[in-house]
């Protein structure tokens, strides 16, 4: 399950059932048409919207931050939870109300919800003009033209080759400091609760040289941090034999060997020591010691791993088809601590109230949390998704009030652990990368340390993109507070 983009570190309760979204910024380069995009859900969706914006920009569109000024409105959607889909439906109703006064507006649904519901949105509900799955974005200009001519604009074909490796994303809502780089698409894991394999198709890895080129271009344009994205980055694998069609005319000697995720991490880290490298998401069954030792080797590879556990009980994990058990997971955590040290940040996803989960099995999740001591977590109660293996095989038999109570117990545990972990940082000196203004004060800036924790510092003398050595003075369960010791130290 993918992370939600949040500015706070503990995602929980009713907030966890809400849906984050971002909108396109205003851009005026003289093009004749305007496009507005709302992006929901995971980091991959936000990255995909940057690809969509690039494709549409090449076909005569500027972006707008005001959907009422748009010729085309796209919602890039998430199907992970029922709440996400309902939020999108509510937005579609709102857009359609505006369309009554602006009939030439084209409304489209992109991404996972489009792939899952397909023709239903077009023919049964008739609330959209265009429906496009994650692998068909190149076809968007043609589909919009078809919709404008009164024809169906639908393409939900799932590709086994598409990676959009040759498309330079338009950086939407960019702070000019941090950026996403998609390294692979799709997922071959068939977790029983998850719709992703059905909405994003089979796993395929992007040409490593195009990834490195994108990272180098971003650094040269002033970016100082990239996050490598994939549903399961640890299973990244590229070879000239298996991925010949994605080689992008590279010379034979440049792509003569298999590249795994540890190799790719090293290649990106070598772009420049001042370019920080993060990645998401890791799968417990696939993360290797080779990856951990590569992280240890390079100071600019951030010491943070998002390692979703979902449940602390082996029987429930088997029902979830996670392909590891409690002992395997704890062994991987032990390896992280032994190789990268206790300061490496670890976060997780957890689902409360999965089918047939007993009270004792729920308590296994709480005891596992005590052992691992997560820095923060993304916590939800189980929401059955149509078409998943769990929906077909199991009864969603845990009452909602029990799910919510178990979730609250997980939240309380994580809040306690987050505060405990943050207190360990007080008095320590850390390097942070300044990436924005604090939400609470214009006189403070925020950055993140290597372990992905938000650190607030006074803004005087600082600017976005600065590396800053700070001393941590205080904390909450969600945030660290520091004083500046040195600006742009020699080692970042």
Q: Is the CB of residue 205 less than 8 Å from the CB of residue 164?
A: no
DSSP bridge pairs for 465? none
| pLDDT averaged over every residue in the chain | 88
User: Would you give the distance in Å from CA 197 to the centre of its chain?
Assistant: 16
- Which one is predicted more confidently, 11 or 395? 395
Closest among 230, 224, 229, 227 to 175, alpha carbons compared: 224
Distances (CA, A) of 226 to 3, 92, 179, 261, 305: 16, 32, 5, 15, 15
pLDDT of 294 strictly over 70: yes
What per-residue confidence (pLDDT) applies to 280?
93
Q: Is the CB of residue 383 less than 8 Å from the CB of residue 354?
A: no
Tell me the per-residue pLDDT of 198-213, one tens digit each, with 9 for 90 and over: 878 889 999 999 999 9
- Which one is predicted more confidently, 249 or 91? 91
Tell me the per-residue pLDDT of 163-197, one tens digit each, with 9 for 90 and over: 888 888 888 777 899 999 999 998 999 999 998 88
Tell me the per-residue pLDDT of 351-369, one tens digit each, with 9 for 90 and over: 999 999 999 999 999 999 9
What per-residue confidence (pLDDT) applies to 117?
75
pTM of the model: 0.85
pLDDT of 245 strictly over 90: no
- Which one is predicted more confidently, 171 or 459? 459
Helix/strand/coil for 477: coil
pLDDT of 69 strictly over 70: yes
Superfamily in which the 178-423 domain is placed by CATH: tm_1862 like domain (3.80.30.20)
Closest among 185, 344, 163, 144 to 247, alpha carbons compared: 163
DSSP bridge pairs for 442? none
Q: May I ask the CATH architecture of the domain 429-487?
A: Beta Barrel (2.40)
What per-residue confidence (pLDDT) applies to 307?
97
| Exposure class string for 148-179: b at 16+ Cβ within 10 A, else e | eeeeebbbbebbeebbbbebebbbbeeeebbb
Any idea where the domains of the chain sit in the sequence? Answer: 13-155, 178-423, 429-487
Q: Please compute the mean of the pLDDT values over residues 340-360 and round it to a whole number.
A: 97
Domain 13-155 listed as CATH 3.30.43.10 = no
The reply to whether domains 178-423 and 429-487 share a CATH topology is no
Q: What is the DSSP string of 286-321?
A: T--HHHHHHHHH-TTB-SEEE---B-S-HHHHHHTT
Give the number of other Cβ atoms within 10 Å of residue 373's Cβ. Answer: 16
Class of residue 284 by CB neighbours under 10 A (exposed 0-12, middle 13-18, buried 19+): buried
User: Rounded distance, CA 471 to CA 468, Å?
Assistant: 10
pLDDT of 437 strictly over 60: yes
Q: Is the CB of residue 317 less than 8 Å from the CB of residue 361?
A: no
């Amino acid at each position: 399950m993918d992370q939600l983009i949040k500015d706070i570190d503990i995602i929980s309760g009713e907030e966890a059932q809400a849906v984050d979204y971002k909108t396109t910024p205003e851009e005026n380069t003289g093009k004749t048409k305007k496009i507005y995009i709302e992006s929901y859900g995971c980091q991959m969706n936000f990255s995909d919207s940057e690809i969509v914006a690039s494709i549409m920009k090449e076909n005569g569109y500027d972006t707008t931050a005001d959907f009422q000024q748009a010729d085309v409105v796209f919602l890039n959607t998430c199907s992970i939870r029922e709440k996400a889909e309902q939020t999108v439906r509510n937005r579609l109703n709102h857009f359609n109300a505006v369309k009554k006064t602006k009939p030439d507006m084209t409304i489209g649904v992109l991404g996972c919800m489009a792939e899952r519901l397909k023709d239903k949105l077009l023919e049964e509900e008739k609330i959209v003009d265009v429906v496009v799955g994650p692998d068909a974005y190149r076809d968007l200009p043609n589909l919009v033209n078809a919709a404008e001519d009164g024809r169906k604009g639908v393409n939900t074909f799932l590709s086994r080759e598409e990676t959009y490796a040759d498309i330079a994303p338009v950086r939407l809502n960019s702070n000019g400091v941090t950026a996403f780089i998609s390294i692979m698409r799709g997922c071959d894991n068939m977790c029983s609760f998850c719709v992703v394999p059905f909405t994003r198709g089979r796993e395929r890895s992007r040409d490593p040289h195009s990834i490195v080129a994108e990272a180098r271009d971003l650094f040269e344009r002033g970016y100082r941090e990239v996050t490598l994205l994939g549903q399961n980055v640890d299973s990244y694998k590229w070879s000239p034999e298996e991925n010949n069609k994605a080689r992008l005319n590279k010379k034979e000697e440049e792509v003569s060997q298999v590249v795994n995720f540890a190799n790719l991490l090293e290649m990106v880290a070598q772009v420049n020591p001042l370019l920080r490298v993060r990645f998401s998401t890791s799968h417990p069954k696939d993360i290797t010691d080779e990856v951990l030792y590569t992280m240890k080797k390079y100071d600019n590879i951030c010491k943070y791993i998002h390692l979703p556990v979902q449940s602390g009980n082996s029987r429930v994990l088997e029902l979830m088809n996670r392909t590891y058990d409690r002992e395997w997971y704890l062994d991987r955590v032990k390896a992280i601590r032994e190789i990268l040290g206790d300061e490496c940040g670890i976060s997780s996803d957890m689902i409360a109230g999965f089918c047939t989960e007993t009270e004792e099995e729920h308590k296994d999740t709480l005891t596992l949390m005590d052992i691992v001591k997560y820095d923060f977590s993304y916590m939800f109660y189980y929401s059955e998704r149509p078409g998943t293996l769990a929906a077909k095989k199991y009864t969603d038999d845990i009452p909602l009030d029990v799910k919510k109570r178990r979730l609250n117990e997980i939240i309380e545990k994580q809040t306690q652990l987050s505060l405990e972990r943050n207190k360990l940082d007080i008095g320590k000196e850390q390097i942070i990368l300044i990436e924005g203004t604090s939400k609470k004060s214009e006189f403070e800036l925020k950055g993140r340390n290597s372990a992905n924790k938000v650190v607030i510092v006074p803004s005087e003398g600082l600017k976005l993109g600065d590396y800053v050595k700070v001393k941590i003075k205080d904390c909450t369960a969600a945030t660290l507070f520091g004083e500046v010791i040195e600006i742009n130290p020699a080692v970042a």
